[in-house]
């Protein structure tokens, strides 16, 4: 039986939500404080995904300034109804839901509308379009009486599509299947006249799980599916290749099958650096409700192909080199909290990428001169050919392995007080910078590189010959050590205390090793 490899979207792409229009599938994932935000992907087979763009690509839509990397845009839902695409999402501040936004578009590639703020508390909003055309908004929030019901509550109100506002009474739907666990990520589906409420419980780490309830009426009452959790890896051992499974969204295929996108992680020796990724799981409907992964009961690294889908191409292990020849950066590149095109931009005539050094450091909650792409493979190499133009003390530019503003590492070109050019490796932990090594450089353009594997990230300089500057153990960049919700991003940056100076990147190369 032909198979595909999971995850279908590797690297930091958490909280997947999916919808289908005809033969086309559209997927949106969380972006947190990265900008542009809420990446949208497209597929014709559920396996091979192509980036389309972002829902949030204008600073006038949402302000992310001052936010921690793991705050920002959390857990969006994408749906389609009568020619319009809808995305609802929560803006989080201080790890709490702040504002719920509704975006619309006629084309999922954009442009998306300016948002409408909904009168909704909590996080993880979702939309359900019933057979009668009414639209129902669901989300999760703190329960009013946690001692009686448990800490979380899934709730519902009707969404008036014409006025784009919530209307009518609020319905408390369900408090989850696991006593004492906070329930979140609600999605509603209707099958044979029965409403199925799929949710997540147990947090987003090892005890993450998919649970369910059902009702005869859309507003309830909902009865817990006694089989809950319907999908989890909480009971499996450390050798299990996929952990933290949950946050499911379902989609029906033209062939009549149902599949779920879920998030999961791939830890090594108890820690993961790639973040939460998108996995694809078959679903079978029975009289009792949905059965996830009916043949195995688990999310595997290999799964059968959806019906009617030809075998996808083998994973491409060739280097991916970006020469920055286009007028703008590709959709895989993002910055932090706002647009960076005035700081980091391609040079169509000269070629390469220009970085205007900014006084905003990577350790701030502003918008530094920084662009990055998610690390997608445990074993990989990232390299860039960098020139620091007319360097002066206090100026630096180069390569960055970025976990968050409090934990990252840079391999940068700079000069010391007597004008000696060097490449310096610096690690930042809890806002404290530690210089781990330096090598002198003589060339005007130098290759800065990092090799990652199960053990460490090793940093190198190629300046006529290859020199190793130092290495940092891989768990330093893990979510388990750093906290938060994001995976490692690999990128380019430039900073200067005075805001003066410029760097040039001729190319950036990402070399995957098929894990």
pTM: 0.96
Phi, psi (degrees; rounded to nearest 5) at 482: -85, -20
Q: Where are the alpha helices (DSSP H) in 37-152?
A: 146-149
Query: Annotated catalytic, 48?
Result: no
pLDDT in tens, the chain (515 residues): 889 999 999 999 999 999 999 999 999 999 999 999 999 999 999 999 999 999 999 999 999 999 999 999 999 999 999 999 999 999 999 999 999 999 999 999 999 999 999 999 999 999 999 999 999 999 999 999 998 898 999 999 999 999 999 999 999 999 999 877 899 999 999 999 999 999 999 998 999 999 999 999 999 999 999 999 999 999 999 999 999 999 999 999 999 999 999 999 999 999 999 999 999 999 999 999 999 999 999 999 999 999 999 876 666 566 789 999 989 999 999 999 999 999 999 998 888 999 999 999 999 999 999 999 999 999 999 999 999 988 889 999 999 999 999 999 999 999 988 888 999 999 999 989 999 999 999 988 999 999 999 999 999 999 988 999 999 999 999 999 999 999 999 999 999 988 899 999 999 999 998 55
> How many whole angstroms separate alpha carbon 188 and alpha carbon 213?
10
Show the domains of the chain with their CATH numbers: 18-232 (2.115.10.20), 320-512 (2.60.120.200)
3-state SS assignment for residue 188? strand
- What pLDDT, on a 0 to 100 scale, did the predictor assign at position 389? 87
Query: Annotated catalytic, 184?
Result: yes
Q: Are 101 and 88 in contact (CB under 8 A)?
A: yes
Please name the helix (run of DSSP H) or strand (run of DSSP E) that holds residue 397, with its range, or none: strand 395-404
Q: Are 216 and 195 in contact (CB under 8 A)?
A: yes
Q: What is the DSSP letter of 424?
A: E
From the list 68, 124, 184, 405, the catalytic residue is 184
How many helices and strands in the chain, by DSSP H and E?
2, 39
Radius of gyration of the chain (CA): 23
- Locus of tokens 């087979």: 45
> How many whole angstroms separate alpha carbon 185 and alpha carbon 233?
18
- What pLDDT, on a 0 to 100 scale, did the predictor assign at position 514? 56
- What pLDDT, on a 0 to 100 scale, did the predictor assign at position 418? 82
3-state SS assignment for residue 114? coil
Q: Are 407 and 483 in contact (CB under 8 A)?
A: no
Q: Is residue 111 reached through a cis peptide bond, with omega within 30 degrees of 0 on the bond before it?
A: yes
- What pLDDT, on a 0 to 100 scale, did the predictor assign at position 131? 96
| 3-class SS string, 241-296 | CCEEEEEEEEEECCCCCEEEEEEEECCECCECCCCCEEEEEEEEEECCEEEECCCC
């Amino acid at each position: 039986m032909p198979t595909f490899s999971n995850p279908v979207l590797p690297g930091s792409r958490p909280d997947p939500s999916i919808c289908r229009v005809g033969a086309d599938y559209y997927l949106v994932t969380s972006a947190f404080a990265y900008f542009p935000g809420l990446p949208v992907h497209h597929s014709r087979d559920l396996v091979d995904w192509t980036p389309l763009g972002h829902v949030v690509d204008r600073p006038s839509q949402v302000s992310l300034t001052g936010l921690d990397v793991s705050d920002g845009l959390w857990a969006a839902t994408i749906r389609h109804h009568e020619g319009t695409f809808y995305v609802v999402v929560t803006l989080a501040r201080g790890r709490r839901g702040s504002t719920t936004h509704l975006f619309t578009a006629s084309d999922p590639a954009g442009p998306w509308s300016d948002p409408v703020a909904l009168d909704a508390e909590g996080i993880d909003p979702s939309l359900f379009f019933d057979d009668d055309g009414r639209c129902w908004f669901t989300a999760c929030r703190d329960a009013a009486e946690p001692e009686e019901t448990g800490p979380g509550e899934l709730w519902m109100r009707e969404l008036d599509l014409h006025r784009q506002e919530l209307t009518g009474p609020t319905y408390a739907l369900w408090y989850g299947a696991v006593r004492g666990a906070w329930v979140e990520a609600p999605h509603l589906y209707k099958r044979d006249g029965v409403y199925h409420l799929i949710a997540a419980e147990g947090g987003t780490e090892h005890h993450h799980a998919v649970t369910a309830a059902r009702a005869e009426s859309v507003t309830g009452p909902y009865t817990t599916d006694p089989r809950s959790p319907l999908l989890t890896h909480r009971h499996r051992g450390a050798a299990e290749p996929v952990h933290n499974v949950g946050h499911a969204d379902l989609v029906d295929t033209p062939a009549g099958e149902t599949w779920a996108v879920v998030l999961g992680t791939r830890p090594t020796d108890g820690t993961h650096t790639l973040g939460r990724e998108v996995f694809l799981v078959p679903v079978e409907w029975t009289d009792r409700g949905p059965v996830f992964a009916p043949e195995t009961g688990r999310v595997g690294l290999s799964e059968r192909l959806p019906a009617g889908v030809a075998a996808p191409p083998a994973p491409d292990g060739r280097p991916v080199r970006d020469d920055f020849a286009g007028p703008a950066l590709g959709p895989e590149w993002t910055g932090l909290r706002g647009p960076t095109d005035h700081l980091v931009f391609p040079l169509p005539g000269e070629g390469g990428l220009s970085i205007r050094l900014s006084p905003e450091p990577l350790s701030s909650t502003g918008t530094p001169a920084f662009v990055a792409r998610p690390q997608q493979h445990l074993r990989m190499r990232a390299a860039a050919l960098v020139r620091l133009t007319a360097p002066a003390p206090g100026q630096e530019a180069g390569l960055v392995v970025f976990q968050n503003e409090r934990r990252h590492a840079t391999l940068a070109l700079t000069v010391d007080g007597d004008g000696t050019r060097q490449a310096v490796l610096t690690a930042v932990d809890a806002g404290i910078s530690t210089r781990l090594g330096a090598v002198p450089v003589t060339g005007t353009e130098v290759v800065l590189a990092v090799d990652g594997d199960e053990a460490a990230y090793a940093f190198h300089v190629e300046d006529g010959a290859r020199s190793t500057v130092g290495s940092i153990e891989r768990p330093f960049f893990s979510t388990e050590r750093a906290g938060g919700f994001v995976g490692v991003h690999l990128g380019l940056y430039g900073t200067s205390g005075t805001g003066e100076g410029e760097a040039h990147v001729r190319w950036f190369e990402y070399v995957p090793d098929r894990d």
